Amino acid sequence: MTVSIPPNRRYTLDEYLELEAKSPHEKFEYREGIVINMREALAMAGGSSEHAVITVNISSGIHSRLKGRDCRVYSPDARVRIPKSTLYTYPDVGVVCGEPQVDSDRFGVQTLLNPNLIVEVLSPSTEDYDRGRKFELYREISSLREYVVVWQTQPRVQTFFRRDDGGWSFDAFAGMDAVAKLLSLNIELRLSEVYANVTLPPQPPEPETGPV
């Protein structure tokens, strides 16, 4: 049963952690005093089985390419914390290379502190947040080297890579024949693999181009 959160209700951090502990089958995002039931939000955002399939395809594809390396791939059940802005959230995919740093709250629940790569699969009504404010908050994680957003309605992936000078490089990949380069891990993912067994809505035809 989904736990509904009263609208406009603000929570202290302790109240949020207690809510999580009392609802082990739910996942809640805590953002600057606001609590969001992620299952309920995903359903309202048009979440679908495609979202889940894409997430599994990405995590398994990354995992297979990192065999033999000191890296761990985390599922959407792994909670991540950004201390400065007090954001607790559950990325669709997280990767840590090297020793994971975790923090346990007073209920014994562990929270990941040092992801190197984060992937979010976009839903139509969460796209602006995931590509905007949430990315701003993720950038506060000093260990984060790359942020990846993936559309579930079309074969499209965008990557944001933190350079050594602290700036961010952007790249975009589109179409089933494209190959997304994840620079932080030095691996590639074919979009045909990312969207395997996913039913995409009909895509609009490419605009016709006449003679120049």
Task: Sketch out the chain's domains with CATH numbers.
Answer: 48-194 (3.90.1570.10)
- DSSP letters along the chain, please? -PPPPPTT-B--HHHHHHHHHH-TT--EEEETTEEEEHHHHHHHTT--HHHHHHHHHHHHHHHHHTTTSSEEEE-TT--EEETTTTEEE--SEEEEESS--EEE-TT--EEE---SEEEEEE-TTTHHHHHTHHHHHHTT-TT--EEEEEESSSSEEEEEEE-TTS-EEEEEEESTT-EEEETTTTEEEEHHHHTTT--PPPPPPPPP----
Distance CA 111, CA 105 (A): 8
Condensed to tens digits (0 to 9), the pLDDT of residues 188-197 reads: 999 999 999 9
Burial of 205 (0-12, 13-18, 19+ CB in 10 A): exposed
| pLDDT value for 207 | 57
| % of the chain at pLDDT higher than 90 | 69
pLDDT exceeds 50 at position 212? no
**Selected residue with higher pLDDT from 209 and 77:** 77
| pLDDT value for 104 | 85
Sheet containing 168-174, strands listed edge to edge, beginning at the edge strand earlier in sequence: 71-74, 93-97, 117-122, 146-151, 156-162, 168-174
Of the candidate ranges 28-37, 126-135, 145-154, 201-210, the one whose mean pLDDT is the lowest: 201-210
Condensed to tens digits (0 to 9), the pLDDT of residues 24-77 reads: 888 999 998 999 988 776 665 555 689 999 999 999 999 999 999 999 999 999
Using an 8 Å Cβ cutoff, are 35 and 28 in contact? yes
- What are the structure tokens assigned to 34, written together? 């606001």
Q: How much is the mean pLDDT over the chain?
A: 90
Distance CA 23, CA 82 (A): 22
pLDDT exceeds 70 at position 125? yes
Query: Mean pLDDT over residues 153-163, rounded?
Result: 97
Query: Mean pLDDT over residues 202-212, rounded?
Result: 60
Structure confidence at residue 88 as a pLDDT band (50, 70, 90):
very high
Of the candidate ranges 27-31, 41-45, 111-115, 160-164, the one whose mean pLDDT is the lowest: 41-45
Rounded to two decimals, the pTM is: 0.90
Query: Mean pLDDT over residues 86-101, rounded?
Result: 96
